[in-house]
Amino acid sequence: MSELKNDRYLRALLKQPVDQTPVWMMRQAGRYLPEYKATRAQAGDFMSLCKNADLACEVTLQPLRRYALDAAILFSDILTIPDAMGLGLYFETGEGPKFERPITCKADIEKLIMPDPEGELQYVMNAVRTIRRELKGEVPLIGFSGSPWTLATYMVEGGSSKAFTKIKKMAFAEPKLLHLLLDKVADSVIDYLNAQVAAGAQSLMIFDTWGGVLSPRDYKEFSLQYMEKIVAGLQRENDGRRVPVTLFTKNGGMWLEAIAATGCDAVGLDWTIDIADAKARVGDKVALQGNMDPSMLYASPERIRQEVATILEGYGHNNTGHVFNLGHGIHLDVDPEHAGVFIKAVNELSRPYHK
């Protein structure tokens, strides 16, 4: 078993005792950091940055040089799988990701290639191997993927969407077609995440960014059941250690119990739910990750510390099972100093909760 100097993030996910609440931030390697912007400029564009293992490693490590974080997260994108399936990913300036060949019919779904994680997606595995080596056991490395529903929204809509009309039309007018797509995507996510574990990822996270646009019944049918399928197909043990899995559905607070029942180790919370309520609802079944509003990082340092104190108090004096994070990714125009105030506050204020 490779030694980890700081394993409190993994311990908290498995509800084991820790000396303080571990903390990391979604999108911690990213555009709010000047050093990231410099590396991104060097790479030329976003996908070139993802595909260069040394540069992807560099941006993964940048926040760890600045802050006392308890985990590193692979620098990549959720759309690597649909891209590798042959949909032709490209980025329009100011418009976000787009696909040249979105899914419109059954023939499109049947044509999709099942990407080989060490073939079309080898650049991701190379990044995992490089980061894991360069971390030198300082903190664990988180691997991740988008959820099948979230990936399918981009694949059918052809890019980002506000109303999700195309995918919902498919869900309600041709549900069999959508299930065919979701099943195929779920299988490729299982292969992809297991390959990340084999390459060195020590924990996994599934981002269901758009699950919250569904009704409760449709969420279970089109999103949750496929995440449950993935959880069941994952390699949960590697290198003599458990590989914990966190599921995060944005705006999914009303379905906490159902998410906790999938077999995952932890549930990510966005900021629209009170952590004390979430804990009361799931009890000791799973660990909880979250859940400060990312926009709180615009506030004064005093206000940020106050918010951290409130969330810690909400989770309470049960000294285990909480990973502190934002309720979604850090905004790109946040002052890095404010992110530092947030992380330092968690490190300092959480210790009395773990006596």
Catalytic residues: 27, 31, 40, 77, 154
Cα–Cα distance measured from residue 222 to residue 182, given in angstroms and rounded to the nearest whole number: 8
Residue 353 assigned ligand-binding role: no
Check the annotation: does 27 bind a ligand: yes
Say whether 93 counts as a known binding-site residue. no
Residue 77 among known ligand-binding residues: yes
Phi-psi region of 24 (alpha: psi -120 to 50; beta: other; left: phi over 0): beta
* Annotated binding-site residue? 31: yes
147, 268 in Cβ contact below 8 A?
no
Residue 150 in tokens = 């979230």
Query: Please, are residues 224 and 214 in contact by the beta-carbon 8 Å criterion?
Result: no
Q: Is 154 within 8 Å of 160 (Cβ atoms)? A: yes
Q: Phi/psi of residue 265, each to 5°? A: -90, -30
Residue 122 token pair: 């080898």
Largest CA distance in the chain: 59
Burial of 260 (0-12, 13-18, 19+ CB in 10 A): buried
Task: Tell me whether residue 30 is annotated as binding.
Answer: yes
| Distance, CA of 36 to CA of 57 (rounded, Å) | 11
- 92, two tokens: 């329009």
Of 325, 306, 312, 342, the C-alpha closest to 66 is 342
Burial tier of 100 (Cβ tally within 10 Å: 0-12, 13-18, 19+): exposed
Strand partners, 175: none
Binding residues for substrate: 27-31, 77, 154, 209, 328
Binding residues: 27-31, 77, 154, 209, 328
